[in-house]
Homo-oligomer: A and B are copies of this chain.
Amino acid sequence: MKSESIKIGLVGLGTVGGGVYEILEKHRSLLAQRIGAPVEIKKIAVRSKGKKRGKKIPAALFTEDVGEILRDPEIRIVVEVMGGTKEAKTLAFAAIKAGKHLVTANKALLALHGKEVFTAAMKAKVDVCFEAAVGGGIPILRALREGFVANEIRSLYGIVNGTCNFILTEMSQKGADFQSTLKRAQELGYAEADPTFDIDGWDAAHKLAILVSIAYGVHVPLQKLFVEGIRRVSAFDLECAKRFGFEIKLLAIAKSQGGKIQARVHPTMIPAGSMLAAVRGVHNAISIDGDSVGEGMLYGAGAGSGPTASAVVGDIVEVARNLIAGVAYTVPPLGLYTDKVRDAAIESVGALRSSYYLRFQATDRPGVLSKIAAILGRHRISISSVYQNVREEGRVVPIVILTHEALEKDIQAAIAKVDRLEVMKEKTLLIRVEENCR
């Protein structure tokens, strides 16, 4: 056991950075035992040294020049928790070029520039660890690269956005509408003032890109993912879901078949008795189905200072243990040893076969349902259930149809036709059903 300390440069001291600092202080001796040597933050790069901070941190640690970290030969690990993509990208490449190992919590950086970052890291044979980028404190990336390494991942379902899961849980439990629930989430600090990134599914899409890249050892062009948020899901839809034995969750879904990968984010109806349906509030969970292990799920806090910092420090420990052993890159970032990671062949959503929940908003008139049914029939879509609770001639009422398995291209074409009917008063809502979700 070498006893000289392993030195870290921390870039950023926000919620996550502060959490990392706290854990390293609090568990100094425990971590030293677990790593085999003490870990020490030698420098903290911040935008403004003068900023007031709640924590007692020695002033000598601070610098406004990230170059001080990059140029310091004693610093072996750069921990990037500044967020954003532009500066973070520059930093990541500079750190790798300087031969330093990189730990980052930055999902946007990796979803957008993962290919270049990983390629650079492979060439430099330095570790790039990013467990905190997906699922906060849930060690899902590690599980995919190591615990489930003996498996081909048949499918992966993730509740990876706490904001959306909180909103959908509240709406489902209280029958509240989307707007008021979003407002409540904002008051509680679970949603940003501008909630677009979360509720339109982009945060989940970034995480899905990372999950897919590790599950299948591929690069994932973000723009190839199908992404749909939860804005149009209503309390009525959640009530209907229950009636059919389902819950609605925003899921990040990946499946692989015959070399083609499905990768999509959208509100999804899943069996009410499934483990994922039991994931409530801001919690996250990722369920995987591996060809050897079968179905498994990892569950926990998907965000917050403590959980995210827990994952970042987990990565620091991994790199530190490697440093002491004199190795790096024993587990490559995408789980494969190759310098030729291929781009993922992402299947278009039109090719999806699924069953669907369709909510039509139509003026209640005799013959409306038969018109809709006729159009669906002409597009090879067969109906499994119909539900219409309010009937009031001349008023706009919802008509709900559950379909049997159909081709999404057909569904989209049928909906486009239905939406042109004169009685239709709103764009038809479609929610995909995953009946086999665990």
Contacts and interface: CB of A to CB of B under 8 A. Distances in A.
Interface of A: 1, 19, 23, 27, 30-31, 33-36, 131, 136-139, 142-143, 146-152, 217, 275, 278-279, 290-301, 304, 306-307, 309-311, 313-314, 317-318, 321-322, 324-327, 329-331, 335-338
Contacts of A335: 34
B146 A139 contact: yes
Given A278-B275, A296-B298, A297-B299, A150 B317 contact: yes
Contact of A150 (B217, B290, B292, B310): B310
A108 B319 CA distance: 33
Q: Could you tell me the dominant secondary structure of chain A's interface residues? A: mixed
A152 B30 contact: yes
A307 B290 CA distance: 9
B150 A139 contact: no
Given A27-B150, A299-B275, A321 B330 contact: yes
20 contacts: A27-B152, A33-B336, A33-B338, A36-B337, A137-B292, A137-B294, A137-B296, A138-B147, A139-B143, A142-B142, A142-B147, A146-B318, A150-B309, A151-B310, A275-B299, A292-B313, A293-B300, A294-B307, A299-B299, A326-B327
Nearest to A298: B298
Contacts of A149: 31, 34, 313-314, 317
A300 B310 contact: no
B314 A33 contact: no
Contacts of A313: 149-150, 292
Nearest to A149: B317
